[in-house]
Amino acid sequence: MSEGQIRQSLSGFYDVFSDGELYRTRARGNFRKRRITPLVGDRVQFESSSPKEGYILEILPRDNALTRPPVANIDQGVVVTAVASPEFSTNLLDRQLIALEISNITPVIYFTKTDLIPDERYQEFETLAAGYRQIGYDVCLTREPFAESGLDELRGLLADKVTVIMGQTGAGKSTLLNHISPDLTLATGEISTALNRGKHTTRKVSLMPVAGGLVADTPGFSSYDTLTIGYRELGQYFPEFALASRECRFRGCVHLNEPGCAVKDGVEAGQFMQSRYDTYLQLLTLLKNQKPVYNKKK
């Protein structure tokens, strides 16, 4: 029996990477009975008589998993964010960051389309980037789009990690991947259509070696549309608020109207970004009004 990592799934076959070799395997029949689906990124135990034939016997415990794209054990998510066209929104960016925090995936922010904005607007983004860096996020922002310094920074972050690339349609996800690794030659804008070309096409999901790490080839991560957490938990997914909340007068403070709230004090003192607090309040209201979902499939 060997141990390896699923690098690709295609029509019920799983390519498992182990000791420098790829083995084509299938999942044992009892997986289906137990309603377990192996995911790309899973660490597995398998046996094989040849590189073309083998069986996955067991899936080792996952650190995390996403449904779109269906990948497990992800270290980080690069949020590709256009500064214009589509119009930039701190709210959307924050929601993407929160979705990653909830999934226990480290966020990285990469700004694109910086050539479309004038210098004074770019200055505003430098201030914004500094705010996100202060929280602890890695941020790639360069005056020239896809400047080598920003790409090098990102390549350094990709090394030895499993990464998903996410962002709005038109933000430049495929273009970014093409710049990082020109030998990939992903047809810009054609990826998602190729992947979703009707219900009968086979969904191929794979991890591609890029810059010394592995990148999920489906830039389709969009699981930030619904949040499935209670409103009292929300603050813990804003790292700067989670840290400050230890100083709040009341345990379980939701940073709304409570006296002695360190988060509100921090916002007023300019220690925290007003835009982050605004997103927090909006999501808090949303979650408070959300009907509880029972029997929700995980």
Which residues fall in the annotated binding site?
112-115, 167-175, 248, 253, 255, 261
Q: Which residues are annotated as a binding site for Zn(2+)?
A: 248, 253, 255, 261
Query: How far apart (Å, rounded) are the C-alpha atoms in residues 130 and 127?
Result: 5
Query: How far apart (Å, rounded) are the C-alpha atoms in residues 215 and 178?
Result: 12
User: ω before 86 within 30° of 0 (cis)?
Assistant: yes
φ and ψ at residue 151, rounded to 5 degrees: -65, -40
Q: Which residues are annotated as a binding site for GTP?
A: 112-115, 167-175
Are the C-beta atoms of 21 and 8 separated by less than 8 Å?
A: no
